[in-house]
Chains A and B, each alone.
Chain A
Amino acid sequence: MKLTNDVEELNKIARELRIDILTMLNKAVSGHSGGSLSAIDILTALYFGRMKHDPAMSVEEDRDKFVLSKGHGAPALYAVLAKCAYFERSQLNSLRKLNAMLSGHPFSPSTPGVEVSTGSLGQGLSMANGMALANKLDGKKGHVFCMMGDGENQEGQVWEAAMTSAHYGLDNVVAILDHNGLQIDGAVSDIMGVEPLDKKWAAFGWEVIEIDGHDMAAILDAIDRALAVKGKPALILAHTVKGKGVSFMENKAEYHGVPPSDDELKIALEELLPA
């Protein structure tokens, strides 16, 4: 895939992908809007700005891999993969439908470009570690990126995996924490506090890079800094806004697992489409 450093271009792609996300969710009549929109700028930066990857798998030896541990953000991943031509764009219309390629949560056997199946929270970083350890064994240079949610950090396995990455010095693992502050039942701080996330991850042996997860230039820079870390894993602590880009969805826990209605989609598209 040809990558770009052009922040304007990446922001344009992210805006298009937001439209794809909302449209596919509307057609599916179920699914997770808020967390897909909070993640999409980072996913755009990864797939169109930094990750060495190719739908034809022509760079298999040293290709970078991505694990969406917060599997409910699948629409964001699907929008990206379709734009990268891992599968036909028309597949987006059949999200969550019977026998469709695109399952409600990422399911690797059916979807090209999906490395592992995720959705039961807390397991993605462990799987990313396994892939990264295999890369080290084989002398492959590829990195494994893993995106988690902040609510997901309530899962004990996340911290088991955090220990593993640090213990084995996995500098080929880059975790990204989509820190939008909300989970299904409300604010993360009200449901089960996870702070201080920066200090926790640092205490677990990680290099922590804190950014605004919607500032495209900052995201690119953070990825570069994470890739340059040697001898230990890096975590990009990305402060994000759940529902980012759609005024009535922003910072609303209610839109965690709810798609836009027809009327809501119309308003959202008006906001997102260039005037």
Chain B
Amino acid sequence: MNGVTRSVEKKSLRDAYGATLLELGDSNKNIVVLDADLSSSTRTSKFAKKHADRFFNMGVAEQDMISTAAGFAAAGKIPFVSTFAIFATGRAWDQVRQSVCLSGMNVKIVASHGGITVGEDGPTHQALEDITLMRVLPNLTVIVPADAHETSAVIKKVAETDGPFYVRTSRDKFPVLFDEGQPFEIGKGTVMRDGSDVTIIACGVMVSKALTAAEILLADGISAVVINMPTIKPIDEDLILKMAETTGAIVTAEEHSVIGGLGGAVAEVVSEKRPCPVVKVGMKSGFGKSGKPEELLNAYNMNSAAIVEASLRAVSMKL
């Protein structure tokens, strides 16, 4: 609907980040970029090559990197900081809290390799807790784009908006869902598909899985709304409450722990303001393991079949 085209074409979110950052760096000389020895993986290497004077490789020292970025921000720069999601949010959590968020520093943390689709590197490198860790921090806006084109739009918006941000991208390529140049608004979810029986709220790679699930559900006579919810914080309360009202059942889907992430955020909203069943699809089995991205998504029930099952359960539990 709304001109959204489904496609089997897949594009890399981190490539989109690298290209957008390069473009922004050309026009905004205040942008500086920091990376912790992963610039070829996070794609900040493109910026590094063109704007060597404004690129700072901090070595394998994520804590120092985050605080250094806060110093840059205190001096009026716009630092983009990149590494893998697990290190940016786990290794350096206190630095994100104390150096960045506490003073509302204008630091943009854009982490690649979120979720289980990190794949073969295994559980040490699969960030399944990062959204929870970042969402709890005051002043921080948390965004999980669903495809490459949305990533570009998010990065542009983040660069021009004052304040600290956490943006999670991925190692794997994700299906293209949006047109290029599609605008992005912070704090707004978008209805990807309309329906009446249940609302599936998803982020990241799970948005495309949710759209597939909605088609399967329709064959079973269940009409599902699919919402892309890229901004996890501040979450789009109005849209969630509207859907709780109109469909009376919600499923959340994320490539992340079911504790405290998108599902937690949605449940917090409805439990206080408009109670209805919220069934969460996400990581329920602790840590991941090595494997191919799709294998892992299937092994840990983060796929369309799991969303279908969750939707049926949510509908059956309607108040």
Residues of A in contact with B (beta carbons under 8 Å apart): 107-109, 115-120, 122-124, 126-135, 137-138, 156-157, 160-161, 163-164, 167-168
Contact = CB atoms under 8 A, between A and B. Distances in A.
B67 A157 contact: yes
A161 to B, nearest CB: 5
Interface in B85-121: 94-95, 97-99, 102-104
A119 B72 contact: no
13 contacts: A115-B74, A117-B103, A120-B97, A126-B64, A126-B65, A126-B66, A126-B99, A129-B64, A131-B74, A132-B71, A133-B32, A157-B63, A164-B68
A122 to B, nearest CB: 8
A116 B74 CA distance: 7
A127 B63 contact: no
B64 A160 contact: yes
Contacts of B67: 123-124, 126-127, 130, 157, 161
B68 A130 contact: yes
A249 B253 CA distance: 59
Interface of B: 32, 53-54, 56, 58-59, 61, 63-77, 79, 94-95, 97-99, 102-104
Given A117-B98, A117-B103, A130-B75, 6 more contacts: A126-B63, A126-B68, A126-B99, A130-B73, A161-B68, A163-B61
Contact of B70 (A116, A119, A132): A116
Contacts of B32: 133-134, 137
A153 B156 CA distance: 39
Given A107-B103, A109-B103, A117-B102, A127 B70 contact: yes
A53 to B, nearest CB: 15
B60 to A, nearest CB: 9
Contacts of A116: 70-71, 74, 99, 103
A163 B58 CA distance: 9
Given A119-B98, A157-B95, A163-B61, A133 B70 contact: no
B68 A156 contact: no
A160 B63 contact: yes
B28 to A, nearest CB: 13
A164 B61 contact: yes
A209 to B, nearest CB: 23
Nearest to B57: A167
A127 B102 contact: no
Contact of B59 (A130, A137, A163): A163
Contacts of A123: 63, 67, 70, 94-95, 98-99
B256 to A, nearest CB: 26
B284 to A, nearest CB: 33
Contacts of A134: 32, 71-72, 75-77
A172 to B, nearest CB: 12
Contacts of B61: 157, 160, 163-164
Contacts of A107: 102-103
Contact of A133 (B56, B76, B95, B103): B56
A135 B94 CA distance: 26
Contacts of A135: 75
A156 B59 contact: no
Given A108-B103, A116-B99, A119-B98, A129 B71 contact: yes
B71 A130 contact: yes
A163 B103 CA distance: 25
B69 A130 contact: yes
A157 B56 contact: no
A161 B66 CA distance: 11
Contacts of A118: 98
Contacts of A138: 75
A130 B104 CA distance: 16
A126 B102 contact: no
B103 A130 contact: no
Contacts of A156: 63
A163 B54 CA distance: 19
Top 3 nearest A-B pairs by Cβ distance?
A130-B71, A126-B67, A134-B75
B280 to A, nearest CB: 33
B203 to A, nearest CB: 30
Most buried by B among A117, A163, A167: A117
B103 A120 contact: no
Contacts of A129: 64, 68, 71
A128 B75 CA distance: 10
A137 B79 CA distance: 13
Given A116-B99, A123-B99, A133 B71 contact: yes
Given A133-B68, A137-B32, A156-B63, A127 B58 contact: no
Nearest to B101: A117
A161 B76 contact: no
Nearest to A71: B98
A161 B64 contact: yes
Given A160-B61, A161-B64, A120 B69 contact: no
Contacts of B70: 116, 123, 126-127, 130
Contacts of B53: 137
Contacts of B74: 108, 115-116, 127, 130-131
Contacts of B99: 116-117, 123, 126-127
